[in-house]
Amino acid sequence: MKDTRSYIKQYLAKNKALFQRISEYIYQHPETRFEEYESSRFLASECEQEGFIVERGVADMETAFVATYGSGSPIIGFLGEFDALSGLGQEPNETEYKPVKVDVGHGCGHNLLGTGSLAAAFAVKSYIEANGLSGTVKFFGCPGEEGGSGKTFMVREGVFDEVDAALTWHPSPANAIMSLSSLANYQIAFKFKGIPSHAANSPHLGRSALDAVELMNVGVNYLREHIIPEARLHYAVTNTGGISPNVVQANAEVLYLIRAPKVTQVDEIYQRVCEIAEGAAKMTGTELEIDFDKACSNYIPNRKLESLLYNHMQELGIEQPTDKEKAFAEKIWSSLTDVERGGYLEVIKGFGYGGDGSEFAGKYLSDSIAEYEPTEGILPGSTDVSDVSWVVPTAQLTASTSALGTPLHTWQMTSQGISSYAHKGMLRAAGAMALTSLQLLLNPAELIEVKQEFHAFREKHPYRCPIPNHVQPSKLEEG
């Protein structure tokens, strides 16, 4: 039996150019939620060329797929994302804002995320094949993480039901285990329909849908004082009813995102928001349609699996950044606002970093791995990985792919998406995930402990998918 660490390191080093090419291809073909046709096709094709059997269009989503290699138990899954964000088109490797014609970009690093998970799956497949082992490795092509909760739809349709453990990661400025829980959320569109009329000649004949949207937003803003402080309410007016002020707006729409630490708390707030919307409709004499768009649960950490993942992160260590990478990172740091630079620790604390930042003195890139500290804290954000964690023991790490202080969903994040430093972090994450999965495969007792912890939690906390059965995945539409 070949030494796992040496084998995985050599495999990833040998195939470094392949995975960089895949990452760059996804980066250069940015696509938003559930429209990742080119990215999905390309990744699925790469899996087939590697010898995986690919099932496309799973869970009634065109861009979702599952690539499988091997047979028998255990079944280890790697979660890959590849969707981009609108409004974040940016020339790569630039230290100032340089937008591109197509204003879509990988401002959350999902080109790296998907490729890193793919690299881990390929490395494990190679080891299984080289040593004639039984066991199954699956790469899950998961679309629509950004505002779509693609994995939650996949969970609802049973895509992960046979998986023994799942691993994933996320790009950030830090190296750590993502040990925090997260906020559950609902996303809902409130659509108001009124009656058009001449705003001066016969305003009394009109019923303004835009008035209803504005009144609803006012009501929700007053609600903020009377919900738990951990909850968040965001909204975007996606349809104002037109650009003519002399016409009473007959149609208007607002999209709400409601977050809280638990799904039950989100649902309670959602019911109150619906009542406010109904009140706004009554006040304006308009009709209301409520469209439930998507939802996700809060993340459930698996401490045993996290500890295994952390040990392999430490075992692999960190390749030190080059002088060129350091200089580039310093310029990115300089492009940030004073507030962003001052709050750089808060960014990485959300990814599991628990230190005081002293090791970063005089640096602009992380060259260390944060101590693993299991915590009951909550990430002030949401992820559809959460729903996977309710049905499969799951662990996730973060690897440094950007300069310290870089906020996600910014042009700076997009700019660094295919840098040499980013690709180092991507392969670091792939190595740690691959070694962890091989430990579970080669040491059944470890997997038993992981599953015992998982089942102990689930016995007390049954899972309910937060997306109703009638709701189907929808593409991003902007009015």
- List the domain boundaries for the chain: 4-182+298-460, 184-296
For residues 292 and 126, give the distance between their C-alpha atoms in angstroms, rounded to a whole number: 43
pLDDT tens digits for 54-81?
A: 999 999 999 999 999 999 999 999 999 9
Q: Given pLDDT bands bounded at 50, 70 and 90, which one contains residue 2? A: confident
Structure tokens given for 140: 């899950």
Neighbours of 291 (CB within 10 A): 13
- What is residue 474's predicted lDDT score, i.e. its pLDDT? 83
Q: Is the pLDDT of residue 187 over 60?
A: yes
**Residues facing residue 55 across a β-bridge:** 66
- What is residue 1's predicted lDDT score, i.e. its pLDDT? 57
pLDDT tens digits for 423-479?
A: 999 999 999 999 999 999 999 999 999 999 999 999 999 999 999 999 999 875 533
Taking CB atoms within 8 Å and a gap of at least 24, the contacts of 372-378 are 372/176, 372/177, 372/179, 372/306, 372/307, 372/310, 373/179, 374/179, 374/301, 374/303, 374/306, 375/179, 375/180, 376/181, 377/180, 377/181, 378/180, 378/181, 378/182, 378/183, 378/230, 378/261, 378/298
pLDDT tens digits for 361-382?
A: 999 999 999 999 898 889 888 9
pLDDT tens digits for 233-275?
A: 999 999 999 999 999 999 999 999 999 999 999 999 999 999 9
Mean pLDDT of the chain, nearest integer = 96
For residues 236 and 239, give the distance between their C-alpha atoms in angstroms, rounded to a whole number: 9
| Percent with pLDDT over 70 in the chain | 99
- What is residue 478's predicted lDDT score, i.e. its pLDDT? 38
What is 4-182+298-460's CATH number, 1.10.760.10, 3.40.630.10, 1.10.1060.10, 3.40.50.300? 3.40.630.10
| Percent with pLDDT over 90 in the chain | 96
- What is residue 479's predicted lDDT score, i.e. its pLDDT? 31
Note whether 4-182+298-460 and 184-296 share their fold: no
pLDDT tens digits for 386-422?
A: 999 999 999 999 999 999 999 999 999 999 999 999 9
184-296 in CATH: which number? 3.30.70.360
The dihedral region occupied by 287, where left means phi > 0, alpha psi between -120 and 50, and beta the remainder, is beta
Residues 89-96, mean pLDDT to the nearest whole number: 97
